[in-house]
């Protein structure tokens, strides 16, 4: 099952409220293969479809097509600050062939 961090949940809730997203919509996480053999992710609000798995996280619904479940097993959806200072919703996925765990900042 996918993991969703508290930072991501807060961002998703805020996005849904500020964008007036209908309550029945969930946050879809989708994958397609990238040109380098890794995964590209699509993340956005969507209606539940027939072959979707639905996961509830503290009031937030995450939708994943059942065919993608094994590709997202043990993946983490997080909301982080990137190197350029921008905040972004990202997927940390150990199943992605090109995945590298994030480097921790060294403490001085």
Total domain count, the chain: 1
Q: What is the pLDDT along the chain (108 residues), one digit of tens a residue?
A: 899 999 999 999 998 888 888 878 999 999 999 999 999 999 999 999 999 999 999 989 999 999 999 999 999 999 998 888 888 899 999 999 998 877 765 555
Using an 8 Å Cβ cutoff, are 63 and 52 in contact?
yes
Characterise 34 by phi-psi region: left (phi > 0), alpha (psi -120 to 50), beta (else): beta
Q: How far apart are CA 33 and CA 23, in angstroms?
A: 30
Asked if the structure places residue 37 within a domain, the reply is yes
Residue 56 maps to which CATH number? 2.60.300.12
Beta strands 60-65; 52-57: pairing state: antiparallel
Q: Which of 7, 53, 56, 11 lies closest to 30, judged by CA?
A: 53
Asked if the structure places residue 108 within a domain, the reply is no
What pLDDT does residue 106 have? 52
Asked if the structure places residue 73 within a domain, the reply is yes
Q: Which residues constitute the domain of residue 76?
A: 3-92
Q: How far apart are CA 5 and CA 77, in angstroms?
A: 6
What pLDDT does residue 97 have? 92
Asked if the structure places residue 75 within a domain, the reply is yes
């Amino acid at each position: 099952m996918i993991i969703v961090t508290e930072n991501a949940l807060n961002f998703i809730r805020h996005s849904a409220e500020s964008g007036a997203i209908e309550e029945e919509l969930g946050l879809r996480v989708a994958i397609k293969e990238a040109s380098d053999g890794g995964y590209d992710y699509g993340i956005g609000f969507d209606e539940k479809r027939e072959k979707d798995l639905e996961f509830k996280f503290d009031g937030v619904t995450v939708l994943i097509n059942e065919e993608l479940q094994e590709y997202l097993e043990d993946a983490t959806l997080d909301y982080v600050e990137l190197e350029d200072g921008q905040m972004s919703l990202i997927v940390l996925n150990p199943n992605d062939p090109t995945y590298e765990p994030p480097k921790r900042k060294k403490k001085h």
